Structure 1
Amino acid sequence: MARFKDIDGVRTGNLFRVDPTRIKEDPGFNIRIEDDDYEQRLESYTTMYLAGSEPPPLKVYLRGDEIIVVDGHVRRRAALRAIERGAQIKDVPVVQFTGNDADRVAAMLQSGQGRGWTPIELLMGYKRLTAFGWTEKQIAEQVGKTEQHVRDIMALASADTSIQKMIKNGQVSASLAIEVVRQDDHLATATLTAAVEKAKAEGKTRATAKHVTAVRGGASGRDVNRALRDLLNEIRRQVEQSGVTDEDFDDHVFHIEGRFLKTLQMSR
């Protein structure tokens, strides 16, 4: 009888079977947020193991004589949970991963796209790769996204943690938060907080662009900053042209055209 590995076009790979209790995790490596969805997925894999089914292989790498998981953290924990519940699992399939620390992060991001990553999870992953010196182009190529996508996610890196929490809790979408952060700069937190409160007052759990527009009064933080800058420049121009002395300055009347105040009035 022919052996599978002897068939033309078939190659032996790096698939091994390992006792799941020997597989370790690097604390803090996994960017997956452990929320209700995470627990449901963990329980789903646990049920598979208890039923005698076997999820896809884990990706692991060797650190000395330690076996560290790169991809498959939920599957590893599910196997251990199933063992605690009485499952007889002697070993699980694993694939050996070779690469450096940045490659491991990239591999985790790639393999997790099937289930999908939340914007905050992507932000954690992209920030790590950026810290390793990766460019936006390199990150985009590795995760199969556009450079604009990477820039959009990285825009959240400068956002206050309260904004990131709003996204994580589903109170605002990542796309809306990114837009407000770019337009309102340091006023973004106040804008989004007010928008969320307005949505709550309407009995809604998620703020939309409509709520942002309402709390802005039609003018964004960037518009307000620009209007203030223009107003200051106009005041300086009038002061310089007036030739008024310090002695008469307090009583001098300056005239400001309405166009310099329109945006500020809209932001009330």
Structure 2
Amino acid sequence: MGQINESAPKSQRSEKPAVSLKVMKERGMLGVSTVKSWGVDPRLVQFESGFNRAINREHVESIKCALRAGHELDDIKVRIEEGAIIAVDGHHRVTAAVEWLAEPDVREPDGGFQLGAKQFRGGDAERVIHLITSSQGLGLTPLERSAQYRKLVGWGWTPAAIAEAVGRSVQNVSDALVLADANSDVKLAVTEKQISASNAAKIVRQSGGRAGAVIAEHVEAARLQGKAKATAKQIAGNTPKDLIAAIRREIDSGGTFRAEELCPSFADLITYLRSTPSRGDTSPAQPTK
């Protein structure tokens, strides 16, 4: 039993306890109001390319299980354009409901099955921000988030403005934008969780177009150590052991691989060693290019 609300009018405290929000509203209770929502047949809802994340089948199946058990789903958000109902939030709920309704043993109630829906008001940028920040259902992956950030930048948003709108740091947004412009092999490594998005962005900044190959080296090194993914400590290459392995890799590659790509913190030392004659070599050191 909850405590008595001291902020309620004294006349309400002596009344019979309300059994619904409707009764509370009718009694004029402060803080209780009516919020309008609509009922929409999910089969009428359309999706807009570029404003929805990829459908996760496991998540859809879990929602269908909830529908079969008779559970009510949260309201979706939609917008109306030229007579069409377009989903803004709730794509998985819509997908699950449509598939569930198509099952042969489903009996719809009189008047048909409907999802609760609220109308979303806002432009393209507001819809993107809502997609990024919505806590309903399944969140965006790092790559999906980076694609939405890139879209906002194309509309004139700065990383600082995006960070403020989505509640993240400017560094986080900047890393995501670097990832959005990275090559496909880098994005694949992030998707397969071989490396974190932030570590991948760091390598892209350091190695540019070779980032995918560098990440592959780190992932292989992690695998040999029994680790599932490349770690920040390993990528930093801060130990002499890392340096020795990197130099050996450069020698074995005939110079096509650069040791500082695995050990950036030793870049100055590597440059010095590269310009120093090996033992027994009496020829003068060649200037570095």
TM range (shorter): 0.7 to 0.9
Query: Cα gap change, 1:83/1:219 in structure 2, threshold over 3 Å: closer, same or farther?
Result: same
State the alpha-carbon separation in 2 of the partners of residues 24 and 52 from structure 1.
24
User: Which residue in 1 is equivalent to 2:130?
Assistant: 107
Is contact 1:185-1:222 (8 Å) kept?
no
Question: Structure 2 counterpart of 1:41, which letter?
Answer: H
Is contact 2:42-2:97 (8 Å) kept?
yes
Secondary structure at 1:172 match in 2: coil
User: Which residue in 2 is equivalent to 1:132?
Assistant: 155
Alpha-carbon deviation of 1:158?
Answer: 2.8
Relative to total residues, which structure has the larger helix share, 1 or 2?
A: 1
Query: Cα gap change, 1:209/1:144 in structure 2, threshold over 3 Å: closer, same or farther?
Result: closer
Identity %: 32
User: Which residue in 2 is equivalent to 1:241?
Assistant: none
State the alpha-carbon separation in 2 of the partners of residues 221 and 205 from structure 1.
18
Q: Does residue 182 of the first structure (1) align with residue 200 of the second (2)?
A: no
State the alpha-carbon separation in 2 of the partners of residues 17 and 113 from structure 1.
18
Secondary structure at 2:59 match in 1: helix
Q: Does residue 68 of the first structure (1) align with residue 90 of the second (2)?
A: no
State the alpha-carbon separation in 2 of the partners of residues 255 and 82 from structure 1.
74
Question: Once the two structures are superposed, what CA deviation does each residue of 1:125-151 show, in whole Å capped at 9, x if it has no partner?
Answer: 111111222121221122111212111
Q: Does residue 197 of the first structure (1) align with residue 220 of the second (2)?
A: yes
Query: Cα gap change, 1:105/1:97 in structure 2, threshold over 3 Å: closer, same or farther?
Result: same
State the alpha-carbon separation in 2 of the partners of residues 145 and 113 from structure 1.
18
Is contact 2:90-2:136 (8 Å) kept?
no
User: Which residue in 1 is equivalent to 2:47?
Assistant: 25
Aligned pair count reads 234
State the alpha-carbon separation in 2 of the partners of residues 205 and 74 from structure 1.
30
Query: Cα gap change, 1:222/1:204 in structure 2, threshold over 3 Å: closer, same or farther?
Result: closer
TM-score, normalized by length of structure 1?
0.74
Q: Does residue 148 of the first structure (1) align with residue 166 of the second (2)?
A: no
Is contact 1:20-1:79 (8 Å) kept?
yes
Question: Structure 2 counterpart of 1:19, which letter?
Answer: D
Query: Cα gap change, 1:163/1:216 in structure 2, threshold over 3 Å: closer, same or farther?
Result: farther
State the alpha-carbon separation in 2 of the partners of residues 113 and 183 from structure 1.
36
State the alpha-carbon separation in 1 of the partners of residues 232 and 159 from structure 2.
28
Q: Does residue 39 of the first structure (1) align with residue 57 of the second (2)?
A: yes
Q: Does residue 84 of the first structure (1) align with residue 107 of the second (2)?
A: no
State the alpha-carbon separation in 1 of the partners of residues 220 and 169 from structure 2.
34
User: Which residue in 1 is equivalent to 2:4?
Assistant: none
Between 155-164 and 62-71, the greater mean CA deviation after superposition: 155-164
User: What value does the CA root-mean-square deviation take over the aligned residues?
Assistant: 3.3
Structure 1 gap segments, 5+ residues each:
235-252
Is contact 2:51-2:127 (8 Å) kept?
no
Secondary structure at 1:219 match in 2: helix
User: Which residue in 1 is equivalent to 2:33?
Assistant: 11
State the alpha-carbon separation in 1 of the partners of residues 284 and 59 from structure 2.
67
Structure 2 gap segments, 5+ residues each:
1-17, 248-258, 276-282
Secondary structure at 2:60 match in 1: helix
State the alpha-carbon separation in 1 of the partners of residues 24 and 179 from structure 2.
50
Q: Highest relative contact order (Cα 8 Å, sep 6+), 1 or 2?
A: 1
Question: Once the two structures are superposed, what CA deviation does each residue of 1:23-73 show, in whole Å capped at 9, x if it has no partner?
Answer: 11113421x344xxx222111111111111112110100012111000000
Secondary structure at 2:88 match in 1: strand
Query: Cα gap change, 1:216/1:182 in structure 2, threshold over 3 Å: closer, same or farther?
Result: farther
Secondary structure at 1:70 match in 2: strand
Secondary structure at 1:59 match in 2: strand
State the alpha-carbon separation in 2 of the partners of residues 187 and 21 from structure 1.
47
Between 212-221 and 146-155, the greater mean CA deviation after superposition: 212-221
State the alpha-carbon separation in 1 of the partners of residues 221 and 233 from structure 2.
10
